[in-house]
Every structure is written in structure tokens, then in C-alpha cells.
Structure 1
Amino acid sequence: MYRAEAACLATSPRTSTVIVDLAQRSAALQRGDGPRGRHSLLDELRQRDEVTEILLDAVDGLEDELLLVYRANRASDEGSGAILFRRQRPAGLEAVHPPAVHTLAQVLFDSLRAEAPNVPLLAHVALALRAILPCAPARDDPGAQRGGLASWQERRAIAFMEERLDQSFPVADVAEACGLSVNHFSRAFRRSIGKPPHRWLLDRRIQKAQDMLRINCLSLADIALACGFAEQSHFTRVFTRTVGIPPGAWRRSAD
């Protein structure tokens, strides 16, 4: 159950701030603190690399903003951070976050335009957004420092592909799971892992195939399908190119 806290309400400002208490799973809506206080808060969050900024399409000519600030018991606790939604995306600029992020953001904006916003709903949606799109990594996140994936993105990408080694899927699906565009994800993945996502996936499938080749009762065709190859011939070509010898010969040498 989400608990609404008393908040300072005012008439339709350009920017609204929702403070989410992670411990209490509650939210407080602030709409009357003026631009100076809000800008000071944003500057502080940006200096600590604790704000993720997302550009949305303007709706009905509105270019309002929404700042979600997530606070734990202490500022250093995991989960603290912020998400800033700005309706100022230039025409033609690619959306780099999952559709669910934009849908939930629209729910928040619609609720804020009401005369009496449903604050428990704001808390519920804000927590859902944080689950889909974790806040910006801390400054000491190695991925953030070297321009690669954040730690949570690297874990999510690898887990996503590991669970689907026997399936065919586009890189766009992995990028979406990490909240990134395909080009951004591919560059960041290569910088973090040392190889492109397609190459990592092929190498991992070959590793799985080697484990299965040690089980003599499995045919090459069965292993190919279990490792995500549509045809045995394709599996044989990739295996030979990667390992240096065909899978059958590798099996015999491994016995």
C-alpha cells in the first residue's frame, strides 16, 4: 500500500518534482518551490552523476518537465538518484528507452495535469519506472567512467542473452532491455566486454556446444539447435572458424 504525504501544491507550473521515499514507498508532490530551488537540486544531482535525463515528445505544445527524486534512508544508500523527464525532444531524434518508460511517463504527466493529482498513483508509477530504468550510476561505476555499459546494464545484457542461447533474437531486443538504442548499446557493450554483442553471443554458443559435445549421445544436429543454430551446416562452419577444427573432430579429441 502506498502512502501519500502532504505536499505543497500550486497551479500548473512548468516543472513538477515528485520526491519518492523508497523506505516508505510513498511520494510527495512539490509544485510551488520556484525555479531557483529546483535548479539548485538539479545542479546538485548532476554534480553527483545521480540524474538520468530522458527527452520526450511535446504533447499539445507543452514542454513541461517532471523530476522524480528517489531517496533512501541515507543519500549513499543504493537506489538513491533521480530521473528528469523533459518534453523537448527534437523532431527525428531516436527514442532510446523502452516503450514502457514513455507510457508510464505519460501516465505521470496526465495525473499532474489534474486539479487534484492522485499522489499514491504517482508513487506507484514512479517506483515502476525505477524498476525498469534504474537511476544513473554513481561516479565510481567503471562502466560510466570508460563510456561502456553501467554495471546493471552489463548484467542485464549478459543474463538476457544467456537465457536465450537456443533462440534467435535481434540485438535490438538486448538494447531495449538495457534502455539504450542499438548503436549506443553496441558501442558500450564492445567497450565494456571487449567484443561486439554478436561476437560474444557466437562465442558463448560455441562454449555451450563444447560442453554438449562431451555428451556422446547427442547428435550434432541436436546440439546445433540447442545452441541457437538453425542448421547443422551453419553450426559446423562457425565452430570450425572459432575453434579451428570441426565439431566432430573436436569431440573425438576431447574423449
Structure 2
Amino acid sequence: MYRAESVTASCRPRTATIIVDPVRRSAALEHRGASAAHGRVDDLRNRDQLTEIHIDAVDGQDDDLLLIYRPARPADTESGGAILFRRQTDGAIPHGHPPAVSTLAQVLFDGLRAEAPNAPLLAHVALALRAILPCAGPRAEAGAPRGGLAGWQERRATAFMEERLDQSFPVSAVADACGLSVNHFSRAFRRSLGKPPHRWLLDRRIDRARELLRATAMSLADIALACGFAEQSHFTRVFTRTVGMPPGAWRRNVD
């Protein structure tokens, strides 16, 4: 049974936004204004959570429609996602989607123009679209392993750690930046990058240390600190285990 929520037919922005709750099977219009809707579109696109579909305009109207699917749980980014329908009149619209997609999208556009939009109908059609377009959640990039990080999460995690190679921080801080629990993040990171976060971080710190050993005259103690090692002895042990020789010997061989 679809549950209706309060929806009013006030003046709608050029980009209409429908918030879909798959768990409660309900839908409601969001009235934030065109600029807020466009900002949300940019954010979803940057996080690889947006499926964008172009369809033909009708009666010269080229408004947009954004469907946002709420995640089942706030921290569960994998169950969320969005579809942006863009209606254009340029006559060069690529149609790479099933025919039913355009039909269902038109039902949504027509429903939004009604005096009192039918929330249960909006939810029903939006969920049908999601069933047809399974990519309407966070999309796995080409070659990405199943169960790994989304593209935006991988970029955010690696950038977070790259920026803090000289600092000490817990894995939970990186997981929080990706909106995941520590256990979920650690499993997904290993599946995506082939090694656990701690190992990836140590390898990057050793890479940075080799750059400094090769290009600077910094002491081993200073390089250790610059690469996030609290003590030179720890740095030497990790470097030797990773590279096969102590950092001092490695520097002399490079020279």
C-alpha cells in the first residue's frame, strides 16, 4: 500500500524535485527553489549518485525533474540515488534507455502539473523507474568490483589520506568522510584498492619518503616526521620491510 503525504501544488521551480522513500513507499515534493535544486544536482553528480536521462520536450516545455531516493538508513549510501530527467527541444536527444522510461517520466511530469499532485502515484511511478533503471543508485565505475567503494568514496578516501600523510588519524575519520561505518569502509576499501586502508597509507608514506630521500637533503628523522612516523626507528623498520633496505642505504644507492 502506498502512503500519501501532504503535497501542495504551489508554484514549482523549473527543476521539480520529488523525494522518494522506498521503505515507506511514499513520495513528496520538495520546494527549495531552482538554485537549491541545481546545487543538489551538482552534489549528486560529483558523488556518482546521479543517473541523467534526456527526453523530448512536450509543448515546448523543457523543465527538469529530479527524483531523489532516500537511503534505507542515513549511513547506507548504497541504497540511495537519484534520477534527473532533462527535457530538451534541441532535436538531438540520445535515446539509450527502454521505451517505458520516457512513458513513465511523462506520467510524472503530467502529475506534477495537476492541481493536487497524487503522492501515491508519484511514488509508484518513481519506484517503477528505479526497477527499470538499477543504475539509479550509486554507480559502480567501469571495472569496479562489486561491494567496493563508490567512485566518489574512493576519491574522497584517498584524497583525505594523501592530505594527511604527515599526521596521525584513525580509520574511523576516513570512514566518516565517506559516510560509512568503519567495518563497511574497511571491507569496501580493500575490495576496491586491493589492500586495507592502513596498508595503503603506509605504502603512500613510504612513496613520499622515497621522494624526499631522492630530492632533498633532509635528515632521516625529519623525513620520518614529514611522512607521519612518530619515531625514526619505526620509519626505518617499515621502509626496510617495504623496500628491502634501510632508507640511508637506499639514498646512497640512488645517489
Measure the CA separation in 1 of the matches of 2:81 and 2:187.
28
Partner SS for 2:205: helix
CA distance 1:178–1:216, change in 2 (3 Å): closer
Aligned residues of 1:141 and 1:151 also touching (Cα < 8 A): no
Task: Report what 1:71 is aligned to.
Answer: 84
Q: How far is the alpha carbon of 1:16 from its aligned partner?
A: 4.8
TM-score (normalizing by structure 1):
0.53
Q: How far is the alpha carbon of 1:146 from its aligned partner?
A: 1.4
Q: How far is the alpha carbon of 1:206 from its aligned partner?
A: 0.1
Q: Any stretches of 5+ residues in structure 1 without a counterpart? A: 8-12, 28-49, 57-66, 77-134
Task: Report what 1:55 is aligned to.
Answer: 73
Task: Report what 2:54 is aligned to.
Answer: none
Task: Report what 2:170 is aligned to.
Answer: 170
CA distance 1:195–1:4, change in 2 (3 Å): farther
Measure the CA separation in 2 of the matches of 1:197 and 1:243.
19
CA RMSD of aligned residues (A): 3.7
Aligned residues of 2:212 and 2:218 also touching (Cα < 8 A): yes
Letter in 1 for 2:12: E
Which digits, 9 at most, give the CA deviation of each residue in 1:57-98, with x for residues without a partner?
Answer: xxxxxxxxxx99663536x9xxxxxxxxxxxxxxxxxxxxxx
Which digits, 9 at most, give the CA deviation of each residue in 1:121-178, with x for residues without a partner?
Answer: xxxxxxxxxxxxxx832366644x5110111111111100000000000010111111
Partner SS for 2:168: coil
CA distance 1:242–1:4, change in 2 (3 Å): farther
Partner SS for 1:202: helix
- Whether 2:231 is the aligned partner of 1:231: answer yes
Task: Report what 2:62 is aligned to.
Answer: none
CA distance 1:154–1:252, change in 2 (3 Å): same
Partner SS for 2:175: helix
- Whether 2:161 is the aligned partner of 1:154: answer no
Task: Report what 1:10 is aligned to.
Answer: none
Measure the CA separation in 2 of the matches of 1:156 and 1:19.
28
Task: Report what 2:28 is aligned to.
Answer: 17
Measure the CA separation in 1 of the matches of 2:151 and 2:239.
30
Aligned residues of 1:224 and 1:231 also touching (Cα < 8 A): yes
CA distance 1:250–1:52, change in 2 (3 Å): farther
Measure the CA separation in 1 of the matches of 2:148 and 2:140.
13
Aligned residues of 2:171 and 2:197 also touching (Cα < 8 A): yes
CA distance 1:180–1:199, change in 2 (3 Å): same
CA distance 1:171–1:252, change in 2 (3 Å): same
Task: Report what 2:4 is aligned to.
Answer: none
Measure the CA separation in 2 of the matches of 1:4 and 1:241.
66
Task: Report what 1:209 is aligned to.
Answer: 209
Measure the CA separation in 2 of the matches of 1:235 and 1:214.
16
CA distance 1:254–1:136, change in 2 (3 Å): same
Aligned residues of 2:81 and 2:138 also touching (Cα < 8 A): no
CA distance 1:23–1:177, change in 2 (3 Å): same
Q: Select the structure of larger CA radius of gyration.
A: 2
TM-score (normalizing by structure 2):
0.53
Aligned residues of 1:189 and 1:196 also touching (Cα < 8 A): yes
Partner SS for 2:72: strand
CA distance 1:166–1:20, change in 2 (3 Å): farther
Partner SS for 1:54: coil
Measure the CA separation in 1 of the matches of 2:69 and 2:25.
19
Q: Any stretches of 5+ residues in structure 2 without a counterpart? A: 1-9, 17-23, 39-67, 75-79, 88-92, 94-135
Partner SS for 1:195: coil
Counting matched residue pairs gives 158
Percent identity over the alignment is 62
Letter in 2 for 1:136: G
CA distance 1:139–1:193, change in 2 (3 Å): closer
